[in-house]
């Protein structure tokens, strides 16, 4: 005899959960791939047949990639004198890249869980 009742094993799905088509979800996952997701994101934004959700995810992916690229390139152009300054700048660049990859993976996890995907400074509807 089981320790748990059968009713405890069932997962309850929220009634207002909107499921996307499998094609849209795969396209959104490809858009969130770090660095290489720029190509499917640009294609989704240029193409008019993409759904609104795919275009929103594409905008988020492109904004994150541009922010990472600007921050990463701004750290590399400054010549440094000492070895300790060079090590510190390399640590900052590594932290930026790790953070970018972690955020992309977190957004993929949210997409997998059917949760909203967005960045705070890009959201259209602000909660008051």
Answer whether residue 128 is part of any domain: no
Question: CA angle, corner 124, sides to 32 and 53, nearest 5?
Answer: 40
Answer whether residue 3 is part of any domain: no
Answer whether residue 89 is part of any domain: yes
Count up the domains in the chain and report the number: 1
Answer whether residue 24 is part of any domain: yes
How many other β-carbons are positioned within 10 Å of the β-carbon of residue 73? Answer: 10
DSSP 8-state code for residue 13? P
More confident residue, 47 or 122: 47
In this structure, what are the phi and psi dihedrals at residue 54, rounded to the nearest 5 degrees?
Answer: -65, -40
Q: In this structure, are residues 68 and 92 in contact, taking their beta carbons and an 8 Å threshold?
A: no
Answer whether residue 86 is part of any domain: yes
Answer whether residue 55 is part of any domain: yes
> How far apart are the two ends of the chain, measured CA to CA in Å?
51
Q: Mind listing the pLDDT tens digit for each residue in 9-56?
A: 565 655 655 667 888 899 999 999 999 999 999 999 998 888 889 999
Q: Mind listing the pLDDT tens digit for each residue in 42-95?
A: 999 998 888 889 999 999 999 999 999 999 888 875 555 666 667 778 888 889
**Boundaries of domain holding 56:** 20-117
Answer whether residue 127 is part of any domain: no
Q: How far is CA 51 from CA 40, 58, 94, 101, in A?
A: 14, 11, 35, 25
pTM of the model: 0.73
Answer whether residue 11 is part of any domain: no
Mean pLDDT, rounded, for 106-120? 86
Structure tokens at 51: 């759904």
């Amino acid at each position: 005899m089981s320790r748990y009742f059968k009713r405890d094993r069932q997962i309850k799905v929220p009634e207002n959960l909107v499921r996307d088509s499998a094609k849209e979800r795969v396209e959104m996952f490809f858009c969130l791939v770090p660095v290489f997701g720029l190509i499917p994101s640009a294609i989704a934004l240029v193409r008019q047949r993409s759904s609104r959700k795919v275009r929103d995810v594409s905008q988020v992916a492109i904004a994150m990639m541009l922010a990472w690229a600007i921050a990463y390139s701004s750290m590399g152009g400054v010549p440094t004198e000492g070895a300790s300054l060079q090590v510190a700048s390399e640590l900052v660049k590594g932290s930026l890249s790790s953070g970018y990859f972690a955020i992309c993976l977190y957004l993929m996890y949210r997409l997998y869980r059917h949760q909203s995907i967005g960045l705070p400074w890009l959201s259209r509807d602000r909660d008051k």
